[in-house]
Structure 1
Amino acid sequence: MSRDPGLQPERTRLAWTRTGVAMAANALLLLKAGISGQHAVLFVSAAIVGIVAAAFVAVGDCRSLRLAAAPVAVGTWMMWMVSSVAVMVAASSVCCVVLGMR
């Protein structure tokens, strides 16, 4: 019996890409705040958030390709790790923008 993957790989890729694009938008906002305020910490934060955004898109592509080939179970450690990184990046972005506006 052949496996019908349905739309799971596509949904996975879109979700990871959407998260990466949102993080890239935060990186651009940090970069803009850093340029206008001449704060080095905002430039460094923008670079870190940009790298994490690219990593999210890359992980999403790899994950969707694996899902298209065969079902892969996600461990709870991976879910916690990804969620923690996303929350930390969002919180640091907000802190940097708030501190950069002063």
Structure 2
Amino acid sequence: MGMSTPDPGRQPERTLLAWRRTALGLIANGTLLLASGHGSSEVRTGLGIVVLVLSLGCWTAVSAVYRRSEGGAVHHLGHDRVLRVAAGLVLVVGLFDLYAVLTK
């Protein structure tokens, strides 16, 4: 009996969808920050733009990693570096939200 490579099944696709949900939540958050600062606060508007750009970058990066890994290559969406970047992004967005709430 030889060793065969494990079949990941649909796990890579489920992981991609989870990352996309995270990015979509961050996009919605950035949109709300942008809307809350429209006409009243340049800082909130700027924070909203930064969050939107980072979120769209997250969406694009995750999609690119998924496309590169199709066809039997090792799937890297669960890689430690990717998880650290996502956790950092969520932390930064949370700090921006905290600022927006405290300065309202």
Length-normalised TM-score, structure 2: 0.77
Q: Is 1:94 aligned with 2:98? A: yes
Partner of 1:82: 86
Query: SS in structure 2 opposite 1:30?
Result: helix
Looking at both structures, which has the greater relative contact order when contacts are Cα pairs under 8 Å and sequence separation is at least 6?
1
Query: SS in structure 1 opposite 2:9?
Result: coil
Question: Whose helix fraction is larger, Structure 1's or Structure 2's?
Answer: 1
Please say which structure displays the higher CA radius of gyration: 2
Unaligned runs of 5+ in 1: none
Unaligned runs of 5+ in 2: none
Length-normalised TM-score, structure 1: 0.79
Query: SS in structure 1 opposite 2:70?
Result: helix
Partner of 2:57: 55
Across the aligned residues of Structure 1 and Structure 2, the Cα RMSD in angstroms comes to 2.2
Q: Deviations over 1:4-45 (max 9, x none)?
A: 331122112211111111011111111121026x10001100
Q: Is 1:13 aligned with 2:13? A: no
Which of 26, 31, 46 is the aligned partner of 1:23?
A: 26
Q: Deviations over 1:35-82 (max 9, x none)?
A: 26x100011000000001101111221222233231145653443233
The alignment covers a number of residue pairs equal to: 99
Matches of 2:96 and 2:36, distance apart in 1? 14
